[in-house]
Structure formats: C-alpha cells, structure tokens
Structure 1
C-alpha cells in the first residue's frame, strides 16, 4: 500500500514540494526553492514572462532532495500552481526525458504570468463579453492568447497545446498529447462557464481564437493520467491528478470549518470564505465588484476578494529604496537585508497617522487605480512610519474589498492567516489583527502544496 502522496505547488516566485504521509495526513518532509525564472528585457510593453525551463529545473531539484526510498512509496501526485497564466507547447515534443529519470522543458513558449500587463483596458474593451459570471482581465490566459492572435499571429502557429504552468507539468509527467485542465484553472482563464463546465467556444471562435489550443476541461479532482516514467524514484504509472489552482489548494489546506475565512498574502493577496452549498453565482460578469466567486470543490464556490497588491507592493517599495541607495552609492547587502531592516524600523513604530494606499498595480475591479500617500507631515516620514503605513494599507485595501460587515453576515467567526508575506512579516500580522473584528490566527502550515497533497491522497 502506498505510504505517501507527493504535493507540488508551482508558485510565482518559488516551488514547494511536500511528502504527505497518507495514514496520518501529516507532512513527512518538504522542500522549497526560488525559481528566479523571470525573463528580463522582453520586447513587449508591460510583459511579465517566465522561463519554463528554469521552472522545471527547479522542480526537479526540489523533488530530487527527497530520499529515493520514500519517493518509491508515492502512490499519488497532486499538482497546483499559479492561476490565470498561459504557456504554449508542442504536444509530442514538449519535454525531453532522455536525460534519465527527470524531464527538461523543450518546444515551449515563455510562461505569460497573471502579472502580465500587455492587455490594457483598450484591448480588453475590444473583446467580446464572456458568457460567464467571471470577467476578463489582463494576465488571463484567453485574453493573452487573443492578444497574440492580433499582434503576433505567427507565434501561435509553432504550438499545438496551451495550458497553465501546472497543467504543463502534469502533461509532461504523464506524456499527454493534450492538456487536461481542471475547472478551477479554466475559470481563471476567462471565457469559461462554470454553470455548464464548457468554454465559450463560439464566442472565442468569433474573436479569432485558435480553438485547437483550448484544453479539455475536467472536474477538479479528476485523474489526468499516470507518470510516463520513473521520476526521481516516483514509480512509473503513478496516478497524477488534473492540476488545481494554487488559491483553492491553499484554502483547502487550512479551512477546517465553514465559519472560517482565509487571509492569504504572498505575492498577491486574497481574503475568502465558503459560500453555502446551494449558492449559484450571477449569470454575467460584474466588473466593478471587488468580490469574485471562484469554483472550489464538489460544485461549491468561494467568495474571494483577490487583490493584485500584496507582498509585491512591499517588494516594489523595497526595490525603490534599494535603487535610491544605489544612486547614492550606498550598499547594505541586497533587498532581503533591506527588507528585514525596514520591518525592524516598523516594529519600533507601533502606529502611524500616515496613510498609504498600496494599489500601485491597480486592481481587477479598478484597473486604472493608482497608489496614494496622504496625511503627510514632517513627523511621519521616517522609514518606520512609511513601512508601517504600507503594511496597514495592504490590509485596509483588502478589508475595503470585503468589509467586516460582509464577513459577519456570512457567519465568519475566525480568520486563518497564511502566505509567505505574512509568515515573514510581523508587522503585516499585527495589522491583520487590527483590520478585522474576528480573531486572526497564524502559525499553521498552510500552503498550496499541502492542499494538493491532502486533496488527492485518498482520491485514486
């Protein structure tokens, strides 16, 4: 009998892999590595692309860190990853297994991530309205593909399949000649109806979308295939689930009661709670609403305030300070060191009357919004004041999208905090407790890799 489930999360900045002991549902061991895969200097304005070759290399390194004798007892593989993004590949030659018990990326495009900004408001307004309760935004897979059809049509002729980065991993592990995509990832692309579990094929075809690139959609929790070969000790013919959304898996790992809400702050930020089992979302997109309804599991939905401004807003601030210091000829040892020093300054500054709106990346419901700093005085311009106000602003922005009254009306009694930014930033944790009337709890091992492993450990 299998002893372990392997859970994988392909994140925006890092990869995490966990080995879950099946009988106890406890993590045996885990490894995480940064991907450092961003492509710098691209020729598309506001593009955000990553190198899938680098991502796969880091994934192999993570898995190879586990003892082979344990990997030989893996009975199921569950994969999650960053939603909305898209890459394209050739079905029969999308990777190379010739190097042994691992694969390398081949014949694949760059990954266009959810942070991509090429589809501006003018371009999006030229696209047809989806038949879905979920709207469209830049960084969504279908929008990106339609951008290519208009601006670089020959680019798409080199490929036969499209999917998210996590779908690509599953396809390569199983040697699939198609992309099998869960409804969670399909909904994140746009032009997908969760009511019918189908693509808006006629609308897409009318807009010039190459329909042969659309993945085959299955319900979340479905079997995608079996491993094509031994993989660092994971046996050949091991069942692999269709890839899931990292957000849903993060929630699954820590939402122990329907009265819980989950606050996640990593690169971006989300606040969510479970809707009643009989809930059905609106028939059409509500682009001005800050609340979206994401498909979860077994036909249910999550109410989600999904902010584009989370840990990345803090990273932008740190990068700006670092750039200023370099201009002044000062070197303090890199952004990580500077980040820790700024958090230390903010911990020494318990409150601040400075107000920072951190929406430097806009929001999907307000894409033209900008960041703001107000209530500036001569006494609140220290680094402690500014860093404290920025951390508070990240939480206040989320709370404005999903107010306390909405949480109380939904019966939320507790907020569970998760995500890499919250884990490393005590100031964010302090401000989270101040932002909501419900108790906010931290310290649990909550992440998408764990959620993927937990969901699939008894599935096949």
Structure 2
C-alpha cells in the first residue's frame, strides 16, 4: 500500500487547553485519518495520513456486474494510517468521528466480527466472520430487478448499489449467503461496531437514507413494506442522529485510550461538505473524478415523501435536522487545458450516465473539421461538464435558495483554468477556490463541535 498524502504537524495536541479529536474516512479508493485540535482560535489539523486501499475483490455471485472490496485490506490500510500518526497525540484523543462511502453494505456475525490482538502500539483488530463490502458502485441490480421491488416510502429513489437493494438481490438469488450473518451496515458502521463492541449495529440517518427504504421525516425504516415482501428486517441497524455517540472503545487502539467516545458513523458526502461550508449561504462545488454541487436547504425544509426517479437532484440528511441538496455527474477529467475562448463543438460528458438518468450516455455533436483541435475539444469538454451541472441545478435555483458565493474544491478545479472559467461563466457568483473538502477532517470537527 502506498501513502498518497501526509501533512506536517501544525500544532501539537499536547498544548495545554487543547482538545484532540480523530477523524477517519473510509473512502472508495483510500482511507484517511486526521487529528484535529480545538483551541480558542479555532480548529487546526495537526497531522493526517492516507493510504490507498487497492481492495478490489472478485464477486463470484454477481460476476462482472459486481463491485466488491476486501474488508481485511481496508482495515489494514486504516491500521497503517494510525501507526503513522504520533503516539503522544493519539493518547490525548477524546472523541473519534468516522465517515465512509455511503450506500454500500457489509455483513458480519455479532460478537464474531473481529479479533483483537496486541501490537507495538496497543491493540488492533482484524476482521473475522465478515463478508466483502458490496460498494455503491455495484451494478448487480438491473433496472428490471429494481422495478420488481416494492415502492419505497422515501424521498430517495432506489438504485443499484444501495444497501437494501443489495440485500433484496441476495434474498432472491443467494438466500443461503444471508443466513451466514446476523448484522449488516456500511463499512463505517462496521468499524464503529467493532471499536465499541456493539451488540447490534447503530447507523446514522445519513447512512440509513443512503440504503433506501428509509423515511427521513419519521427517521424510520419502511418496516411494514419490507416485512410484507419477505425482507430480512433483522439485518436493519438501529438508527440515531448524526453527531450522537455510538459508544465507548472497548480496547485501547493504537494508543487511543479505552473508553474514548466514538460517534455514530457518518456519510462521507456530508462530512466533506461540513469540512468547508462555513455559511448557510455557501454552495460547495467539488470536481475531481466526480463532480458535486451542493447547497443547504432552508430551515424547516422537509423532503418529499415519495421518490422522483426522474429528478436530477437528491436531498440528503445533514446535521441538526437539516438537509443538503446535491447534484452529481460522473466523468473522466483531463490533466491540462489549453486556452480556447469558445467552440461550436458540443460534448455531453456523462460517460457513466446519471443516477436519475442512466441511459443518458456521452455524446459529441456539432463536429466540424475546424473544431477538432485539442483546444476546441478541451474547451467543449469543460463546457459540457459545467453545463451538465447547471442543467441539474441552475444558477436561478441557487439564487432563489439564497446562495451568495460558491466554494470551489477538487483537483480538477485547482489544476484546470479553463474549467474555472466555465464555472464563472455559468454561475455568476463570487467563487472562492482552494476550499478543499475533507471527509476525515469533517468527521473530526463534527465530534469537536458536539463535545
């Protein structure tokens, strides 16, 4: 495994009057741990470390449509991150916040999900009696299969890769697999359950909503709908509010003391937004390997009770009972951009489709011989990315929501001047760049603010 980021310490946790919290993000391709210090002047990231997981695993049951990861490898990467952080600072951690990739599901046996062992830095745990993580990218649930499932009483449409959809798939295609386990959750729920030795998993409303069949208004699963269709409802975790405490650590862990409080696991999307959104009038635009444009909803907003499968936007539970509205597009980004003021070439960059419109694949139109230079293609691609975002969440929508500025983040924006030009053309707000989102930092700050 290879380190892809490690920050230099800015302020030691040993400074009198400071409070240390540890944030962990279990992402799709990497794991990150960040120490955050709370002082009278604000929060400072003292040190962070990330590791690529490279945890891709075969999916015998689903074949090429499956997308699974080896939980053992993910936990190895997490252990490597914590070993790399200063022991004297880990010993002063008072709270741990954990976020991770949403929608996916991992199964385990209660009280047998891991084995704790002693190491040079205290205790560590290794997964046992745990399935692969079936990720949010999993494609085993076809459109016809999803249409055969009960209609959820939720504001979010069901999609392949959602935890409940995956459980339904196993129920109908490999029921014996489900009989091997009695607990389920996201990968971050699993880690929290292991750290606190929970009898049953506890899930935040953020992660529950990402599974499908969850009513965000009542904060409850669609139990009756699921039971009537034979769904194994005993696998549904209990649900709590984000920012709440799941429990205390049952062992010391890499020097972090036994009894340290661990928060209920959070969604990486929400924590990323939380790490940089400072005002309710901010919109957060993040463009890297994917793109998201996110705004907070007004106080008192309630999402609809039924899903709109054709809607280009989705509402996600945030913090303190609030919601955020997100629009996303998946695309490959270019490494550099050449100056080209305009072009007649038109590129629709949705090579992976959209969750609300999977059939909308990429296309190139208005092709002429004079518009095929690298500059024209680059400009058209950048225009297409931003136009696609704008089509889902127009400037007028942001204005009506009270947005006054956009916080731009992500490697694509920081490296591509042409992309930044297109953002400023399409969204005539003040744009502040360099506000990079960081789910691990966001998870730590959530716990720092809720001490």
**Fold conserved (TM > 0.5)?**
yes
Contiguous gaps of at least 5 residues in structure 2: 1-16
**Residue 71 of structure 1 pairs with residue 90 of structure 2:** yes
C-alpha distance in structure 2 between counterparts of 1:189 and 1:203, whole Å: 15
C-alpha distance in structure 2 between counterparts of 1:352 and 1:53, whole Å: 49
Q: Secondary structure at the match of 2:335?
A: helix
**Residue 68 to residue 356, structure 1, CA distance change in 2 (3 Å):** same
Structure 2 equivalent of residue 162 of structure 1: 184
Deviations 1:334-392 (A, max 9, x none): xxxxxxxx523x23555443222121222121122211111222233344443443333
Counterpart pick for 1:356 among 347, 351, 367:
347
C-alpha distance in structure 1 between counterparts of 2:111 and 2:415, whole Å: 42
Cα drift, residue 70 of structure 1: 0.6
C-alpha distance in structure 2 between counterparts of 1:13 and 1:193, whole Å: 30
Q: Is the 8 A contact 1:51 1:111 kept in 2?
A: yes
Counterpart pick for 1:57 among 76, 96, 118:
76
Structure 1 equivalent of residue 33 of structure 2: 17
Structure 2 equivalent of residue 399 of structure 1: 390
Q: Secondary structure at the match of 1:457?
A: helix
Q: Secondary structure at the match of 2:57?
A: coil
Counterpart pick for 1:374 among 342, 365, 368:
365
**Residue 260 of structure 1 pairs with residue 282 of structure 2:** yes
Q: Within 5 Å, give how 1:164-179 maps onto structure 2.
A: 164-179=186-201
Structure 2 equivalent of residue 319 of structure 1: none
**Residue 343 of structure 1 pairs with residue 362 of structure 2:** no
Q: Is the 8 A contact 1:141 1:190 kept in 2?
A: yes
Structure 2 equivalent of residue 327 of structure 1: none
Identify the range of structure 1 (423-432 vs 148-157) with the bigger mean alpha-carbon deviation. Answer: 423-432
More strand by share: 2
Q: Within 5 Å, give how 1:322-333 maps onto structure 2.
A: none
Deviations 1:302-341 (A, max 9, x none): 122233x1xxx216xxxxxxxxxxxxxxxxxxxxxxxxxx
C-alpha distance in structure 1 between counterparts of 2:142 and 2:202, whole Å: 29
C-alpha distance in structure 1 between counterparts of 2:386 and 2:431, whole Å: 12
**Residue 36 of structure 1 pairs with residue 27 of structure 2:** no
**Residue 76 to residue 98, structure 1, CA distance change in 2 (3 Å):** same
Cα drift, residue 431 of structure 1: 3.2
Contiguous gaps of at least 5 residues in structure 1: 316-341
Q: Is the 8 A contact 1:184 1:220 kept in 2?
A: yes
Structure 2 equivalent of residue 95 of structure 1: 114
Structure 2 equivalent of residue 118 of structure 1: 140
Structure 1 equivalent of residue 431 of structure 2: 440
**Residue 128 of structure 1 pairs with residue 150 of structure 2:** yes
Structure 2 equivalent of residue 338 of structure 1: none
**Residue 205 of structure 1 pairs with residue 227 of structure 2:** yes
Structure 2 equivalent of residue 5 of structure 1: 21
Identify the range of structure 1 (192-201 vs 410-419) with the bigger mean alpha-carbon deviation. Answer: 410-419
Structure 1 equivalent of residue 173 of structure 2: 151
Q: Within 5 Å, give how 1:228-267 maps onto structure 2.
A: 228-267=250-289
Structure 1 equivalent of residue 101 of structure 2: 82
Deviations 1:36-95 (A, max 9, x none): 112257552422211111111111111111110010010000011111111111121212
C-alpha distance in structure 2 between counterparts of 1:62 and 1:351, whole Å: 45
Q: Is the 8 A contact 2:150 2:229 kept in 1?
A: yes
More helix by share: 1
Q: Is the 8 A contact 2:23 2:36 kept in 1?
A: yes
Q: Secondary structure at the match of 2:328?
A: strand
Aligned positions, number: 429
**Residue 217 of structure 1 pairs with residue 239 of structure 2:** yes
C-alpha distance in structure 2 between counterparts of 1:109 and 1:350, whole Å: 52
**Residue 32 to residue 175, structure 1, CA distance change in 2 (3 Å):** same
Q: Is the 8 A contact 2:410 2:436 kept in 1?
A: no
Structure 1 equivalent of residue 332 of structure 2: 314
**Residue 352 to residue 61, structure 1, CA distance change in 2 (3 Å):** farther
Q: Is the 8 A contact 1:418 1:447 kept in 2?
A: no
